[in-house]
């Protein structure tokens, strides 16, 4: 038995291994496809159901007279026409851009300064980074509640600066108060991103400039800013999108008031759909917001992946 | 072996998360549902989210659950002013609350969408419509009646008046003003500053809570000659001379008479009540009999006898005018346990009666109006009862919440920003026009 | 090399900015121990004469804040764990597997990064309603489970894993599942943890969706509870502040514990921008 059986078993083993390998490869190919499918399918299904379907449904609703209470009737482009002729809509759209500009520009300038400082402060860098990032993890509602109180007529801001401004009840300055609260909430994230950008600048470049006797402003102007360009563009676009779609801060601090002075698009959409029973009109607004965001995204993608 | 363990781990992970989701799914609990055994869960949407109101309702609900052992009641207490938003969301999800304490100003919206069930007279323990309505003073049901059908069981029937910090006026050597001219004249005398800080203004004007702003503004406009809307809500008088004069007078209180410093108001809703409660204003216009409860509970320093209720100042000669408003328990017709729901409404109406009256809430029942609890309330017999006896509901507009917001914004602009009265009102009117009730 | 004056200026400015950023938080803590009127005293007393510790107990008792903390925690934890797991799987597939439509899927997911929630919330709500999961934990969790951000970062990170590493596993005869669990998961673990923390914080801070989907008080999350503190009749500022401070504590602890890892992975993603 052992002798007889030895050879076949040897060849058998050899064949078996080969066969198994081949089978394995085929099995791996189909198994691999199942594997890939198992990896990607949940995510694909998730986005189909919870992002693309609601988006498509929203597009449909925007062409109906839907209210959340009664069933929708198709009305064509009527809602969009109504938007064209609504002063409130154009004012709100413009105000939303204003809000974005009021937040994005200071956020980027300040976080640039902070990132530069942190990169150059060798000692205590960890502490500074921690503190600078801290506001970013504070819940937006909490930040808004705290800022609502310190912006009161006799709150901390006025008493510390010896001012007597009605920050939240004066329509011409209420947006500034909201912007300051928003800047505080989001600045930490951009400090860290810009720090990463700073660290990408080759040290030799800065040293070379220093040897050439470049002063700080020249260094910033000719070496740092060009190197940070992609990072800055990313920050600009993503912070713009974040601000334009921010709901919590204005909702908590002023609920759009006084006199609509802080009413931004997300708030208006929420009001139309959930407060004024005009989900159709609200969805038409939402679709415009979506379009703006996608245009921004397209721009961002072109910037980020330029040359790839 | 290797592979199997990997697969096992993966399956375990997927199973684990699925299990976790199932657990929380069950924990969430569904909406109210009918059951042949009589077991049911009722949901109740209310705006009493703070004591003492919330405590009263909890007490009633506990007693109700004891009397109906198979029934569970889930109270959803929301910040006042946000209940209607929540109601719409719930209704759209096909699970409206079984009982809803609705504000009379949104009845028109509810009725035009046909979402309510008429009062179940048997369940609330009366023979018919007349038997129920004869228990109440006249007019209380007008806000809840359409085409002869009644849809609500009244919880509160109320109107606004002035709340006055009498001591502040006395300290300044003044009587409580009865006309708007006097209010203007007294402005500078009551304005107190300390280290550049305004510590006292004569009147706190309402900002940021459009429903209450509009009740007040409508009353003032009436004194000046016409209400903000016609009785059917199909026509707006926002650009009428009366409205312009009324809004101009109120703007002058701020910019000419030094009577009001609206920037003292915070950005929270109902900030004027806060300012008055903290003693910074000597007069306030958006409080009813119920405000006594707030004063006693939260603003003890200015509670009566420091403060007292009065009718609104007038233009001189004219009757003070103030429309009434109310709250009523309504039952959506999509509910599965409507009889039970009406029984709960009835229990709230009955058992809560005495306690609500203690809070200054009056449901419009004759017996309650002349009860000891009511007549022993300060100002009840002198101010509120006579005013309520001949007031009627403010116009109910189907798009009321949006229209209120538009008018409130115009008023905010006028008093906070010194906006031009005429153009602000014209602008508001332009926005309001397409939202008015459709004729008929 | 550096002049002392430059150093002093640099550190001075850095410290000043740090203090400015901390002021609102310190004020919140200090204010939560004041009385309602003490909040608006001038000059402001940073350390109240008589600290009102009872603000905390009375606020805690006034609403069921404990319940809200638990809700927020459960929701945030499940979203973080499940979301990161699914995101990592998809990220791996998009980074290392070849299959039909991969690029289309990747770019579609990138596009969702720019879809603002307010623009689809009505649709999301209606789908949740059709599934019958409004006003439940599932309703709070499921629609917020996965974000394009997680997948994007995971894919970027896993693309940096050398193919040889995976190939060596294949040569050893390991199955794809084995490679995934033995090589890929341990490799992506650090990024998964930081994405998990960011996701948790995002969920902890979310207001808009809970505001829409939740009706019952027993399902309230922390941000929702905080907005319910004021009413048109009375606003208890110090109670709001006290509960705000309580609401911040968990996220701050989480941040401090995982600080280095978290900041590093944000820097990595930021550094990747150079392309």
Share of chain A above pLDDT 90, in %: 44
Q: Report whether pLDDT(B173) > 70.
A: yes
Residue B66 tokens, joined:
């004891």
Q: What angle do CA A28, A34, A38 make, to 5 degrees?
A: 135
Task: Give the per-residue pLDDT at C84.
Answer: 94
| Closest to A88 in 3D by CA, of B401, C121, B217, B430 | B430
In order, the DSSP letters of B5-53 are HHHHHHHHHHHHHHHHHHHHHHHH-------TTS-EEEEEEES--STTH
Binned at pLDDT 50, 70 and 90, residue B8 comes out as: very low
| Residue B145 zone, left/alpha/beta (φ > 0; ψ -120 to 50; rest) | beta
> Which residue out of A17, A30, A51, A200 would a mutagenesis test of the C interface target, given it has the greatest number of C Cβ atoms within 10 Å?
A51
Query: Is a pLDDT exceeding 70 seen at residue A306?
Result: no
| A259:B409 CB<8 A | yes
Residue B24 has pLDDT above 60, yes or no: no
pLDDT for the residue C108: 87
Which residues on C lie below 8 Å from B199 (Cβ)?
Answer: none
Going by pLDDT thresholds of 50, 70 and 90, the confidence category of residue C272 is: low
- How distant, in Å, are the alpha carbons of B119, B141, B401 from that of B396? 20, 13, 10
Residue, of A199 and B248, whose pLDDT is higher: B248
Q: How far out from the chain centre does Cα A212 lie?
A: 40
Q: What share of chain C is helix, strand, coil (3-state, %, to 5)?
A: 75, 0, 25
Asked if the Cβ–Cβ distance from A171 to B413 is below 8 Å, we say yes
Q: Is the pLDDT of residue A307 over 50?
A: no
Question: Percent of chain C having pLDDT more than 90?
Answer: 32
Answer positive or negative: Cα dihedral of B57, B59, B62, B64: negative
Rounded Cα gap, residues A97 and A84, in angstroms: 17
Subunits with at least 3 CB pairs below 8 A relative to chain C?
A, B
Q: Which residue of C129, C212, C232 is in closest CB contact with B80?
A: C232
Model confidence at A3, pLDDT cuts 50, 70, 90, reads very low
d(CA A89, CA B270): 27
| B197 in reach of chain C (CB within 8 A) | yes
Surface-to-core class of residue C101, CB atoms within 10 Å of its CB (0-12 exposed, 13-18 middle, 19+ buried):
exposed
Max Cα distance, chain C (Å): 75
pLDDT of residue A1: 31
CA distance B355 to B158: 16
State how far the alpha carbon of A183 is from the alpha carbons of A101, A102, C16, C154, in Å. Answer: 11, 9, 17, 28
Question: What are the start-end ranges of the H helices in C1-147?
Answer: 4-31, 54-62, 65-96, 102-112, 117-130, 137-141
Please tell me the predicted confidence (pLDDT) of residue B53: 81
pLDDT at A9: 33
Tell me whether B13 touches chain C (CB under 8 Å): yes
How do residues B283-317 score in pLDDT, each as one tens digit? 999 998 888 888 887 888 999 999 999 999 998 77
Asked if the Cβ–Cβ distance from C93 to A36 is below 8 Å, we say yes
Please check the confidence at residue B239 and state whether its pLDDT lies above 60.
yes
| Among the ranges given (A163-172, A198-207, B41-50, B268-277), the one the predictor scored with the smallest mean pLDDT | A198-207
- A64 - beta bridge partners? A74
- Cβ of residue A161 closer than 8 Å to a chain C Cβ: no
Q: Look at residue B109 and tell me whether its pLDDT is greater than 60.
A: yes
pLDDT at A75 exceeding the cut of 70: yes
Quick one: pLDDT band at residue A11, thresholds 50, 70, 90?
A: very low
B71 beta partners: B40
Cα separation, B399 vs C235, whole angstroms: 28
Q: Mean pLDDT over all residues of chain B? A: 85
DSSP C46: S
Instruction: Tell me what pLDDT residue B33 has.
Output: 42
Kindly report the nearest CA distance between residue B426 and chain C, in angstroms: 29
Cβ contact, residue pair A141, C25, below 8 Å: no
CA within 13 Å, CB half, B373:
18
Cβ(A146)–Cβ(C244) under 8 Å? yes
Q: Of residues B267 and B44, which shows the higher confidence score?
A: B44
User: Is residue B252 exposed (0-12), middle (13-18) or buried (19+ Cβ within 10 Å)?
Assistant: middle
CA distance A90 to A101: 17
Q: What is the mean pLDDT of chain C?
A: 86
Q: Is there a contact between B240 and B403 (Cβ–Cβ < 8 Å)?
A: no
DSSP C113: T
CB-based contacts of B171, cutoff 8 Å, min separation 6: none
Residue A12's CB is within 10 A of a number of other CB atoms, namely 12
* Chain B residues inside the 8 Å CB shell of A146: none
What was the pLDDT predicted at A14?
35
Res A279 pLDDT > 60: yes
A90-94, B104-108, B214-218: segment of lowest average pLDDT: B104-108
Task: Categorize the per-residue pLDDT at A265 as very low, low, confident or very high, splitting at 50, 70 and 90.
Answer: very high
Chain A residue with minimum CA distance to C171: A21
Q: What does the alpha-carbon distance between residue B48 and residue B54 come to, in Å, rounded to a whole number? A: 5
Quote the percentage of chain C above a pLDDT of 70: 95
- Report phi then psi at B48, rounded to 5: -85, 85
Mean pLDDT of chain A: 84
For C132, nearest residue in chain B (alpha carbons): B93
Among the ranges given (C36-45, C122-131, C140-149), the one the predictor scored with the smallest mean pLDDT: C36-45
B37, with CB counted inside 10 A (0-12, 13-18, 19+), is exposed
ipTM over 0.90: no
- What are chain B's partners, defined as 3 or more CB pairs within 8 angstroms? A, C
The reply to whether C221 touches chain A by the CB within 8 Å rule is no
pLDDT at B355 over 80: no
Tokens of B289: 């009999």
Element (H, E) at A205: helix A203-211
d(CA B327, CA B393): 11
Q: Which residue has the tokens 């009353």?
A: B219
pLDDT at A5 over 50: no
Q: What is the pLDDT of residues A14-57, one digit of tens each?
A: 333 344 444 444 445 556 788 889 999 999 999 999 999 999 99
Whole-number pLDDT of residue A50: 93
- How many interchain CB pairs under 8 A, A with B? 88
Contact yes or no for B27 and C137 at CB 8 A:
yes
Residues 84-143 of B with CB under 8 A from C: 86, 89-90, 92-95
Mean pLDDT of B190-205: 90
User: How far does C172 lie from chain B, in Å, by closest CA?
Assistant: 12
- Subunits with 3+ Cβ pairs within 8 Å of A are B, C
Any idea of the CA torsion for C196, C201, C203, C205, to the nearest 10 degrees?
A: -170
Contacts of C110 by beta carbon, 8 Å cutoff, 6+ apart: A297, A301, C148, C152
3-state helix, strand, coil in chain A (%, to 5): 80, 0, 20
Helix H, strand E, coil C: the string for B182-224 is HHHHHHHHHCEEECCEEEEEEEECCCCCHHHHHHHHHHHHHHC
Least confident of A227-231, B77-81, C63-67: B77-81
CA dist B261 and B96 (Å) reads: 42
Over residues B335-345, the mean pLDDT reads: 92
- 3-state helix, strand, coil split of chain B in percent (to 5) is 45, 15, 35
Q: Would you state the structure tokens that stand for residue B303, as one six-digit string? A: 């509670």
Cβ-contact B106, B322 below 8 angstroms: no
Per the model's pLDDT, the better-predicted residue between B35 and A106 turns out to be A106
pLDDT digits (tens, 9 = 90+) for C69-107: 999 999 999 999 999 999 999 999 999 888 888 889 988
Residue window 390-409, chain B: list those with CB within 8 Å of chain A: 399, 401-402, 405, 409
The listed range with the strongest mean pLDDT (A66-70, A296-300, B413-417, C188-192) is B413-417
Considering A29-33, B99-103, C144-148, C268-272, the range whose residues carry the highest mean pLDDT is: B99-103
């Amino acid at each position: 038995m052992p002798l007889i059986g030895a050879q076949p078993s040897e060849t058998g083993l050899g064949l078996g291994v080969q066969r198994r390998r081949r089978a394995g490869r085929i099995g791996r190919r189909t198994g691999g496809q199942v594997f890939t499918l198992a990896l990607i399918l949940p995510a694909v299904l998730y986005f189909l159901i919870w992002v693309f379907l609601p988006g498509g449904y929203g597009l449909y609703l925007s062409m109906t007279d839907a209210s959340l209470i009664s069933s929708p009737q198709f009305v064509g482009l009527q809602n969009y026409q109504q938007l064209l002729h609504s002063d409130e809509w154009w004012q709100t759209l413009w105000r939303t851009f204003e809000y974005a500009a009021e937040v994005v520009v200071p956020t980027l300038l300040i976080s640039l300064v902070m990132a530069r400082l942190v990169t150059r402060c060798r000692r205590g860098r960890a502490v500074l980074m921690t503190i600078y990032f801290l506001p970013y993890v504070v819940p937006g509602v909490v930040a808004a509640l705290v800022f609502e109180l310190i912006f009161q007529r006799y709150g901390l801001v006025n008493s510390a600066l010896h001012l007597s401004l009605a920050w939240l009840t004066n329509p011409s300055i209420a947006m500034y108060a909201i912007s300051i609260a928003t800047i505080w909430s989001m600045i930490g994230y951009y400090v860290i991103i810009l720090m990463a950008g700073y660290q990408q600048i080759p040290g030799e470049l800065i040293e070379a400039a220093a040897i050439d006797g470049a002063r700080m402003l020249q260094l910033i102007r000719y070496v740092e800013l060009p190197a940070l360009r992609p990072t800055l563009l990313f920050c600009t676009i993503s912070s713009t999108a974040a601000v334009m779609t921010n709901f919590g801060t204005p909702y908590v601090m002023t609920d759009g008031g006084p006199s609509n002075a802080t009413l931004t698009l997300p708030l208006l959409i929420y009001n139309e759909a959930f407060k004024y029973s005009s989900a159709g009109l609200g969805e038409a607004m939402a679709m415009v917001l979506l379009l703006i965001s996608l245009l921004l995204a397209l721009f961002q993608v072109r910037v980020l992946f330029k040359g790839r | 072996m290797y592979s199997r363990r990997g697969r096992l781990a993966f399956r375990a992970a997927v199973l684990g998360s699925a299990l976790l989701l199932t657990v929380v799914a069950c924990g969430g609990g569904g909406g109210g549902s009918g059951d042949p055994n009589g077991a049911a869960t009722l949901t109740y949407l209310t705006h009493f989210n703070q004591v003492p109101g919330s405590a009263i309702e909890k007490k009633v609900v506990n007693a109700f659950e004891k009397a109906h052992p198979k029934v569970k009641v889930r109270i959803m207490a929301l910040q006042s002013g946000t209940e209607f938003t929540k109601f719409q969301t719930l209704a759209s999800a096909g699970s409206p609350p079984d009982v809803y304490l609705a504000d009379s100003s949104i009845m028109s919206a509810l009725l035009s969408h046909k979402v309510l069930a008429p009062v179940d007279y048997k369940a609330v323990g009366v023979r018919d419509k007349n038997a129920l309505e004869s228990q109440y003073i006249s007019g209380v049901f007008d806000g809840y009646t359409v085409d002869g059908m009644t849809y609500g069981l009244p919880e509160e029937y109320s109107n606004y008046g002035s709340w006055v910090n009498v001591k502040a006026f006395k300290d300044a050597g003044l009587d409580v003003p009865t006309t708007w001219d006097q209010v203007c004249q007294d402005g500078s005398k009551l304005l107190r500053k300390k280290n550049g800080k305004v510590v006292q203004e004569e009147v706190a004007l309402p900002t940021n809570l459009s429903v209450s702003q509009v009740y007040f503004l409508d009353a003032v406009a009436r004194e000046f000659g016409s209400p903000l809307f016609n009785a059917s809500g199909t026509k707006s008088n926002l650009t009428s001379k009366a409205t312009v004069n009324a809004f101009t007078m109120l703007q002058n209180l701020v910019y000419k008479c030094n009577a009001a410093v609206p920037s003292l108001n915070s950005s929270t809703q109902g900030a004027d009540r806060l300012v008055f409660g903290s003693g910074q204003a000597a007069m306030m216009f958006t409080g009813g009999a119920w405000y006594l409860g707030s004063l006693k509970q939260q603003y003890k320093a200015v509670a009566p006898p420091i403060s007292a209720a009065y009718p609104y100042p007038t233009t001189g000669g004219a009757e003070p005018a103030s429309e009434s408003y109310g709250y009523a328990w309504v039952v959506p017709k999509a509910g599965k346990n409507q009889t039970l729901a009406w029984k709960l409404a009835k229990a709230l109406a009955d058992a809560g009666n005495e306690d609500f009256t203690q809070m200054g809430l009056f449901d419009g029942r004759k017996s309650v109006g002349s009860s000891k609890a009511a007549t022993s309330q300060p100002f009840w017999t002198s101010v509120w009862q006579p005013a309520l006896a001949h007031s009627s509901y403010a116009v109910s507009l189907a798009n009321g919440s949006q229209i209120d917001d538009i008018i409130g914004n115009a008023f905010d602009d006028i008093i906070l920003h010194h906006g031009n009265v005429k153009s602000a009102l014209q602008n508001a009117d332009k926005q309001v026009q397409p939202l008015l009730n459709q004729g008929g | 090399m550096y002049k002392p004056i430059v150093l002093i200026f640099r550190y001075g400015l850095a410290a000043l900015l740090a203090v400015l950023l901390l002021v609102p938080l310190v004020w919140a803590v200090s204010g939560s121990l004041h009385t309602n009127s003490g909040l608006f005293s001038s000059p402001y007393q940073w350390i109240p004469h008589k600290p009102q510790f009872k603000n905390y107990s009375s606020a805690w008792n006034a609403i069921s804040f404990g319940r809200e903390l638990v809700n927020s925690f459960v929701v945030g934890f499940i979203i973080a764990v499940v979301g990161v797991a699914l995101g990592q799987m998809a990220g791996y597939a998009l980074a290392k597997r070849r299959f039909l439509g991969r690029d289309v899927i990747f770019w579609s997911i990138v596009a969702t990064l720019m879809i603002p929630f307010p623009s689809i919330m009505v649709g999301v709500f209606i789908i949740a309603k059709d599934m019958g999961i409004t006003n439940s934990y599932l309703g709070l969790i499921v629609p917020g489970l996965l974000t394009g951000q997680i997948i994007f970062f995971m894919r970027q990170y896993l693309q940096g894993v050398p193919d040889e590493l995976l190939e060596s596993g294949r040569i050893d005869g390991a199955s794809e599942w084995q490679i995934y669990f033995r090589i890929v998961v341990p490799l992506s673990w650090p990024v998964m943890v930081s994405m998990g923390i960011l996701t948790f914080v995002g969920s902890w801070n979310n207001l808009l969706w809970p505001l829409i989907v939740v009706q019952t008080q027993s399902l309230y999350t922390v941000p929702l509870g905080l907005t319910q503190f004021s009413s048109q009749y009375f606003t208890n500022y110090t109670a709001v502040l006290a509960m705000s401070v309580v609401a911040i504590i968990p996220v701050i602890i989480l941040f401090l514990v995982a600080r280095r890892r978290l900041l590093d992975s944000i820097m990595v993603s930021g550094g990747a921008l150079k392309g």
